[in-house]
Amino acid sequence: MALRNGFTHPYTLAKSGVDFWHALKDIPKENSPFTKNCYYRDGIIQRLGMAKLTSNQVATSKAITALHRFYYGTNSKQLIAAAGTVVKTYNTGTSDWDNIQTGLTDGAQVTFQTWGPKDAVYIANGNEQSYKWNGTIKTQLTALPSGIRQFLPLLDRMLWIDTTDPSFIRYTTAYDDTVVESAQNALKVPGPGRIEGMAYHGLKTDTGFATRCVIAKADSMWLLTANDLTPASIDARLDVISPLVGCVAWRTIQFTPIGTIFLSSDKQVYLITFDGGLIAIGSNIFSNRPEVNGIEDIPSSGNALPWAVYHNGFYKLFIPAASGTYNTVQFWLDCTRFHQHPRSGLYGPWYGPMMGQALSHGVVQNGSGDDGALMVGEANASTGGYVYQADSTNADDGTAINMIYQTNYDDADRKDYFKIYRQFDAEFASVDGTLTTSFYDTPGVFSDGSSVTLSSSAVYWDDAYWDEFWWSGAGEPTRYQFVPTEKIIARNLSISLSYSSTTDQFKLYSLNAQGQVRSKLPFAGAIARE
């Protein structure tokens, strides 16, 4: 028999990501007030974990400082890693790391850059003499100054930040790393402070040359566009992107299909559009709520630590937690569905925090013959100098991934009325693990203490569990009905699902609430038990 004033209401899953910016009552229904270790792609999906590439360390008990995928020759490729005093390449035959260079300054920030015309990777660390490696032979770049921090090819030249006056960019002659253009032809970047780093803005031309790059200072951002860097016929311009917004964590500067994205020195995320405009797009993960930590909590001592990659359609930002010394927190921007919310005006969708291991750097293996895997390096030396493949397993090196997904504070399309919630239906992939539910109203929390142990191998058709579970086989969608031990009365109800496992990946496809409209009369607290 149908209940008087009964309703069934579907919750809108967080297609627009998290919203830490607004008060709980103002969060749009397409957003979530909190997620952990999950994102939306045709449902709420728990992130995958990582596994060691090999049991061999790059350097014993030394943090990984940089990773690079070197493509060269006809179809050759090498994974290169820096840790401690060494740079090594991964030997797929022995599953060990072979030396390229030893005796470097311990822990110095190494940078790698492939230069296609020379078919070599260029290696710098801001201290020793730079060198190049062609997959077999290592050659010191004696014509270049020592102490170079970063290389970047542009047109037919190799650029670097001047080692004596880092407000200038120096470069070689065309296709030649043995001859350096004179200092008087260096490109000066105006404004105070040194150049922190450079990164491409746009794809390569049909000739294989990159022509535009972003130049970052701590308090300003610049766009260099070059058509010819020959001193006698130079055709290049330097435009200010912003005279006030800069970037210290220059390894967060990543070109994506929607433009170039970076984390600013003032702890905001910005998008540089294709025409050189600047848009603040990180407000969703900048928290105005005391119970949630966002990018505003990056410690000042860790301003230079963050880094980012573009991987599987996401801009993935790695940052340290509040008072942390390693990058243990990730926020993901889904560039495939990037939009400005029509009501809140904020950009997204952003997801996170993704929380787990301390990771110092990463590289996407997306060249010829590769499968797009993301390789990441251990940041905590005490844990060991390991390289991991991300998004490859259901655990973080054997440690369970705890996922939390919280819905918006939904009024069931019956604003101002209190509702009695009697039952909830969830459809998700059949998994092993523990699922826990909690319920929240805007003013407070009521935890039902409800948890269930899920089993993907169980079959519940026609047995004692009928009306609780419907299983269509391991890995297939499962419908689970849960009834709170005590009826919940609320005006705006948010549901939290928590899942933990080392073997399976949780995927939520739908979530519905069933109940009755009660009245507009207030109760003692907005959430109560009947």
pLDDT at 441 over 50: yes
C-alpha to C-alpha distance for 251 and 480, rounded to whole angstroms: 44
Confidence of residue 461 (pLDDT cuts 50, 70, 90): very low
**What is the pLDDT at residue 443?**
64
Q: How confident is the model at residue 450 (pLDDT cuts 50, 70, 90)?
A: low
Average pLDDT of the residues of the chain: 90
d(CA 233, CA 229): 7
* Cβ atoms 87, 434 nearer than 8 A: no
| pLDDT value of residue 422 | 86
Strands (E), 455-530: 469-471, 477-482, 488-490, 493-501, 507-519, 528-529
Q: Which CATH class is domain 6-48+403-529?
A: mainly beta
pLDDT over 50 at 1, yes or no: no
Which residues neighbour 116 within 8 Å (Cβ) at sequence distance 6 or greater? 153, 208
Residue-level pLDDT at 303:
84
Q: Cα dist. 107→12, 85, 287, 300 in Å?
A: 47, 7, 33, 20
Task: Report pLDDT for 135.
Answer: 96
Confidence of residue 477 (pLDDT cuts 50, 70, 90): confident
Residue of 51 and 475 predicted with greater confidence: 51
- What average pLDDT score do residues 356-374 get? 94
Q: Indicate the range of 274-283, 340-349, 519-528 predicted with least confidence.
A: 519-528
The type of residue at 224 is: L
Where does 229-287 show beta strands of DSSP type E? 235-242, 254-256, 259-263, 269-272, 278-280
Q: Which secondary-structure segment (H or E) carries 98?
A: strand 96-101
Ranges of each domain in the chain? 6-48+403-529
Helix (H, G, I), strand (E, B) or coil at 234: coil
Q: For residue 129, is pLDDT > 80?
A: yes
Looking at residue 323, what is its pLDDT?
83
Torsion of CA 510, 515, 521, 526, to 10 degrees: -50
Would you state the pLDDT for residue 440? 87
Structure-token pair, residue 238: 């330097």
528: confidence class by pLDDT, cuts 50, 70, 90 = very low
* φ, ψ at 295 (rounded to 5°): -70, -15
Whole-number pLDDT of residue 300: 83
**What's the pLDDT score for residue 522?**
54
pLDDT band, residue 464 (cuts 50/70/90):
very low
Alpha carbon distance 67, 148 (integer Å): 18
Q: How many other β-carbons are positioned within 10 Å of the β-carbon of residue 395?
A: 17
pLDDT at 3: 59
How large is the average pLDDT for residues 371-397? 96
Average pLDDT rounded to a whole number, residues 504-520: 90
pLDDT in tens, 183-241: 999 999 999 999 999 999 987 655 567 899 999 999 999 999 999 999 999 999 999 99
Q: What is the mean pLDDT of residues 345-366?
A: 96
**Minimum mean pLDDT among 94-108, 227-241, 289-303: which range?**
289-303
- Residue 400 CA to residue 107 CA, distance in Å, equals 30
In the block, which residue shows the tokens 């179809």?
75
First vs last C-alpha separation in the chain: 21
* Residue 483 clears pLDDT 50, i.e. is over it: yes
* C-alpha radius of gyration, the chain, whole number: 26
Mean pLDDT of 312-322: 96
Question: What contacts 444, CB < 8 A, 6 or more positions away?
Answer: 525, 526, 527
Burial class (CB in 10 A: 0-12, 13-18, 19+), 225: middle
Instruction: Evaluate if residue 448 carries a pLDDT over 60.
Output: no
- pLDDT by residue (tens digit) across 151-160? 999 999 999 9
Helix/strand/coil percentages in the chain, nearest 5: 5, 50, 45
Higher pLDDT, 294 or 466: 294
> DSSP states of 5-51 as a string?
TEEEEEPPP-TTBB--SS-GGGS-TTSBSEEESEEESSSEEEPPEEE
Q: Is the pLDDT of residue 456 over 80?
A: no
